[in-house]
Amino acid sequence: MRDFEYEAPSTLASAIEQIVQGNGSVKALAGGTDLIDHIRTGRLRPNLVVDVKKIPELNVLEVGSEGLRLGAAVSCTRIYENAEICEKYSALTDACHIIGGIQVQNRASVGGNLCNSGPAADSIPALIALDATCVIAGPQGSREIAVEDFCTAPGRNVLESGEILVELNMPARPAHSGSHYLRFIPRNEMDIAVVGVGASVTLDDSGQNFVSARIGIGAVAPTPLFAKEASEVLFGLPVNEESINKAVEAARAIATPITDMRGTIEFRKHITGVLTKRALEKAIERARQ
Ligand SMILES: Cc1cc2nc3c(=O)[nH]c(=O)nc-3n(C[C@H](O)[C@H](O)[C@H](O)COP(=O)(O)OP(=O)(O)OC[C@H]3O[C@@H](n4cnc5c(N)ncnc54)[C@H](O)[C@@H]3O)c2cc1C
């Protein structure tokens, strides 16, 4: 593997300074489960790797009345070992449970999954469903952006030179809310999603009507998608098959997948509908619990 310099700063300011000084030939490292492989295969050739795991702001994990604050370097394991997060932000913990195996989950962060910006990344549809916002810091200060606007193309995102993803914020969950993420893969585990769908719903007090919904879809376009129309079509509708089918049709309509070794365009569009239905049904079940 190509040699590189390694720094592990303990403050956000020094990390940003080192990244700026790296002058483009620098990559942040959280868990390294994507990055090290990309360096090994020559896809990325940084002269400097800045380990961000020792920075306190990137290790925050708090659930409170304002919602969930998730530091960008927090591992998948730390996330799903938190019972409150499992209960309130189930779509996120569903995704964390299926990113690689145990060893990968002990290292891999949701922030790294997002910054790697793969179209099939498992955490991104879940983050979109949970209405997550990215907090980004750089030499010009900090800014916020919705997760659905973060990825711009396969492997590309809005991060400018010198910027770091600091944390992800998810709003507090209203009463009668539930969420779910699931994917289709040809094997039982350790594979890349053919399609992945995250859904979040809030029901009224009776549990019989949708108040709101959000659906995120992965692996059917160059970037993970917020299925806006499929989400908004459910607002105020009764919870029944007819309503869910409206969302299913709207989700299928925005899927523009490619044919590759994992599936054809037709298959992926079909699976988008199947998984949207299943993600909604499980989210509804959880909202009623
Ligand atoms: C065996 C194996 C199985 C896998 N299975 C899955 C799977 O099932 N589903 C899935 O979605 N992924 C899978 N992955 C990919 C990978 O594990 C995930 O994408 C993981 O979440 C990446 O997180 P990380 O912390 O290791 O990121 P890193 O490898 O540390 O970083 C990934 C990218 O993001 C950048 N980056 C990281 N943190 C920041 C930050 N705070 N600010 C700015 N840039 C940053 C890095 O520079 C790099 O370009 C698998 C990988 C392996 C090796």
Any atom of ligand 1 within 6 Å of the Cβ of 112: yes
Domain-wise residue ranges, the chain = 5-51, 57-171, 177-288
Residue 271, ligand 1, Cβ within 6 A: no
- Which parts of the chain register pLDDT below 70? 189
Which pLDDT value is given to residue 240? 98
Q: Is 72 in the pocket of ligand 1 (CB under 6 A)?
A: yes
- The pLDDT value recorded for residue 127 is 99
Query: How far is the first Cα of the chain from the last one, in angstroms, to the nearest whole number?
Result: 50
What's residue 188's pLDDT?
72
Cα of 39 vs centre of ligand 1, distance in Å, is 13
Kindly report, residue by residue over 222-266, the tens digit of the pLDDT.
999 999 999 999 999 999 999 999 999 999 999 999 998 888 999
Q: Which residue has the tokens 């922030």?
A: 111
How many other C-beta atoms can be found within 10 angstroms of the C-beta atom of residue 45?
Answer: 11
Task: Report whether 182 contacts 167 (CB < 8 A).
Answer: no
What spacing in Å lies between the alpha carbon of 34 and ligand 1's midpoint?
4
Topology given in CATH for the domain delimited by 5-51: 3.30.43
Instruction: Return the pLDDT at 261.
Output: 86
CA distances from residue 160 to 58, 71, 109, 155, 164 in whole angstroms, order as listed: 18, 19, 20, 14, 9
Q: What is the pTM of this model?
A: 0.98
Q: Which residues contact 240 (CB under 8 A, 6 or more apart)?
A: none
3-state SS, residue 145: strand
The pick from 12, 43, 113 for probing ligand 1's pocket by mutation, whose C-beta has the most ligand atoms within 8 angstroms, reads 113
What pLDDT was estimated at residue 226?
A: 98
Comparing C-alpha atoms, which of 226, 230, 218 is closest to residue 262? Answer: 218
165 lines ligand 1 (CB under 6 A): yes
How many CA atoms, within 13 angstroms, populate the side-chain half-sphere of residue 14? 11
How many angstroms is it from 99 CA to the middle of ligand 1?
9
Locate 220 and state its tokens.
């059917």
How many residues would you count in the chain? 289
The encoded tokens of residue 262 equal 């994992």
133-138 vs 141-146, strand pairing mode:
antiparallel
Structural contact between residues 114 and 31, judged by C-beta atoms closer than 8 angstroms: no
Q: Kindly report the CATH number that applies to the domain delimited by 177-288.
A: 3.30.390.50
Is residue 97 in contact with ligand 1, taking CB distance under 6 Å? Answer: no
CATH class assigned to 57-171: alpha beta
User: Which atom from ligand 1 is nearest to the alpha carbon of 52?
Assistant: 41
190-229: per-residue pLDDT in tens? 789 999 999 999 999 999 999 999 999 999 999 999 999 9
23, HSE (Cβ side, Cα atoms, 13 Å): 2
Query: From atom 5 of ligand 1, which residue's Cα is the shortest distance away?
Result: 100
Q: Which of 19, 29, 34, 44 to mutate to test the pocket of ligand 1 (most atoms within 8 A of CB)?
A: 34
